[in-house]
Amino acid sequence: MSKITSSTLLKFKQEGKKFTSLTAYDASFASAFDSEGVDVLLVGDSMGMVLQGHDDTLPVSVEDIAYHTRCVRRGVKRALLIADMPFMSYATPEQAMTNAAILMQAGANMVKVEGGHWLLETVTKLTERGIPVCAHLGLTPQSVHVFGGFKIQGRDANNAQRILDEAKAIEAAGAQLLVVECIPAPLAKAISEALTIPVIGIGAGADTDGQILVMHDLLGISSGYIPRFSKNYLKQTGEIREAIRAYIDEVEKGIFPGSEHTFS
């Protein structure tokens, strides 16, 4: 079974093949996701909420991400493994390089950063130094207090254009992947069509190149608020591995996300 790389995902995009991503935080779930064919695993700072019980992602540390990256790495043979750069771990390019190196040495194939134009120098410097970058635009959870809560982004024309411009700029700076979160489906489609690099959506409609879900949402075990864009595949199938396979199948066929999971 060939390993998934950024080149693989680029080929998928060029061929029009949808791919799947899930968050993972330990070796056992990572192995299950990997063996069933999930293409990308993300050690997400979402662990702050789903593992640690916080109200947001801000308390997560670099060492938290590094520890869970080491755990996930041991369960992965095929999938591309991305590690989140947590809150304020990349405020400057120098800080980003130091902390990204820790995560790459823990086993990540790529790091993910949230933000637009202010990150361009950082993305370029990381890429030049052999650290692949996945960017993240739209609803960026580390900026939740700036946004005034977990709110849909890019609904008005000015903000939609800003997000599209930032997507193009961050690709030009060297990013190899882009996650767009909680933006209107037409905007996500425009971004996916405008960029050469693959675009992964969450709460962004079915026209992105790939989809990602938090594993706890996929399995219906998230406590408290359940996002509109999530789907409980365990309830649908009754078995974890079948839930994973159903998710992959529905993404590849364009069934998920449906209109009920999408913002206009």
Q: Which residues are catalytic?
A: 181
Q: Are strands 19-23 and 80-84 parallel, antiparallel or unpaired?
A: unpaired
Can you tell me the distance from the alpha carbon of 90 to that of 165, in angstroms, rounded to the nearest whole number?
22
Q: What is the DSSP string of 19-78?
A: EEEEE--SHHHHHHHHHHT--EEEE-TTHHHHTT--SSSTT--HHHHHHHHHHHHTT-SS
Separation of first and last alpha carbons in the chain: 38
Q: Determine whether the annotation assigns residue 114 to a binding site.
A: yes
Q: Determine whether the annotation assigns residue 45 to a binding site.
A: yes
Q: Residue 18 has what DSSP assignment?
A: -
Annotation: binding site for 3-methyl-2-oxobutanoate: 45-46, 84, 112
Annotated binding-site residues for Mg(2+) read 45, 84, 114
Q: Which residues are annotated as a binding site?
A: 45-46, 84, 112, 114
